[in-house]
Amino acid sequence: MNENLRHALIRARLQPVDIAARLAVDPKTVARWISGRIPHPRHRFAVADLLETHENDLWPDVSYGRRHITGEIKAVYPHRWSVPAEVWRSFFQAAEKEIGILVYSGLFLAEDAGLLRILTERARTGARVRILLGDPDSPQVAARGAEEGTGSDVMAARIHNAFALYRPLQDIEGIEIRRHRTVLYNSIYRADDSLLVNLHVYGTRASEAPVIYLTRTEADNAALTYLDSFERVWTSTETAGQTV
């Protein structure tokens, strides 16, 4: 019996059927997890986020890619593709005041209709939503395409697709979309004082690179560094008048 998981469900006032519905699995599967079976990593990640805890609290004897680190680092994912879709959605859904997206294309988010609905809903409830996409004609985008090995044409096309998918959001009050000509060392995703930072690695596509989950604290400053970086890029686009 996994007592840690059972007690976490009780504290969260959730039933196994609630977890099953959110993760789109059979309730019997969740029951087996409570009985002691260890889920696949992507399910462990998602369950921990739903219960607002960490995998090592629920499965302390399991070795996995995402580990809890004390301080403001909540988790580290080995690849962006290993971050479950439910984590992205719950991350942005929790924002009350600020949502920020700083990427070259971020096409994987733009293609998620459910996430676009969350951005719209958050803006309509008062959150400020700011989206920064790369200028497809900029040398910075061309260089990033070459570094990833995909080519500048592919990178530019992905950005054009992202602009097209985000365009309906421009008519929503509280949502602003701009283009930037910045050399990005990381893609930054913000929800209030929480951040998902996708590292950029030379010769590696962003989807294959690690993601760090940060929350701003009084004692540590890593999150503040990324928050300040986002603001500097935003200000540079405002100064240059590079709105979409």
Q: What is the CATH number of the domain that holds 187?
A: 3.30.870.10
pLDDT at site 129: 97
pLDDT at site 68: 47
**Of 11, 40, 64, which closes a domain?**
64
pLDDT at site 240: 53
pLDDT at site 48: 87
């504290």: which residue's tokens? 11
pLDDT at site 179: 93
pLDDT at site 8: 87
Q: Are residue 58 and residue 94 in the same domain, yes or no?
A: no
More confident residue, 112 or 149: 112
Q: Are residue 51 and residue 140 in the same domain, yes or no?
A: no
Q: Are residue 147 and residue 215 in the same domain, yes or no?
A: yes
Rounded to an integer, the average pLDDT of 152-167 is 91
| Closest C-alpha among 88, 113, 85, 114 to residue 99 | 88
Q: Are residue 116 and residue 190 in the same domain, yes or no?
A: yes
Residues above pLDDT 70, as percent of the chain: 91
**Of 29, 64, 99, which closes a domain?**
64
Q: Are residue 24 and residue 111 in the same domain, yes or no?
A: no
pLDDT at site 64: 45
CATH assignment of the domain containing 13: 1.10.260
Q: Are residue 50 and residue 93 in the same domain, yes or no?
A: no
Q: Are residue 30 and residue 108 in the same domain, yes or no?
A: no
Answer yes or no: is 204 within a domain. Answer: yes
Rounded to an integer, the average pLDDT of 159-184 is 93
pLDDT at site 92: 95
42 lies in which domain range? 3-64
Answer yes or no: is 196 within a domain. Answer: yes
SS3 28: helix
pLDDT at site 164: 94
Residue 177 has pLDDT above 80, yes or no: yes
Domains held by the chain: number: 2
Q: Are residue 57 and residue 88 in the same domain, yes or no?
A: no
Other C-beta atoms within 10 Å of 146: how many? 13
Mean pLDDT over all residues of the chain?
A: 87
**What kind and span of H or E run contains 73?**
strand 73-77
């070459």: which residue's tokens? 146
CA 12 to mean position of chain CA atoms: 23
Q: Count Cβ atoms within 10 A of the Cβ of residue 32 and give its class: 0-12 exposed, 13-18 middle, 19 or more buried.
A: middle
Residue 200 has pLDDT above 50, yes or no: yes
Answer yes or no: is 38 within a domain. Answer: yes
pLDDT at site 62: 65
Q: Could you tell me if 105 and 161 are in contact, meaning their C-beta atoms sit under 8 angstroms apart?
A: yes
Answer yes or no: is 73 within a domain. Answer: no
E strands, 181-238, in order: 186-191, 194-199, 211-215
Q: Are residue 36 and residue 152 in the same domain, yes or no?
A: no
Which residue blocks in 191-221 are alpha helix, DSSP H?
Answer: none
* Cβ-Cβ contacts under 8 Å for 102 (sequence gap 6 or more): 132, 180, 184, 187, 188, 189, 229, 230, 233, 234
Answer yes or no: is 156 within a domain. Answer: yes
pLDDT at site 147: 85
Answer yes or no: is 72 within a domain. Answer: no
Cα gap 118→35, rounded to integer Å:
34
Q: Are residue 18 and residue 128 in the same domain, yes or no?
A: no
Answer yes or no: is 205 within a domain. Answer: yes
Give the angle 190-142-168 at the CA atoms, nearest 5°.
Answer: 50
Q: Are residue 50 and residue 170 in the same domain, yes or no?
A: no
Q: How far is CA 196 from CA 152, 163, 181, in A?
A: 26, 21, 21
């998902």: which residue's tokens? 196
Q: Are residue 85 and residue 187 in the same domain, yes or no?
A: yes
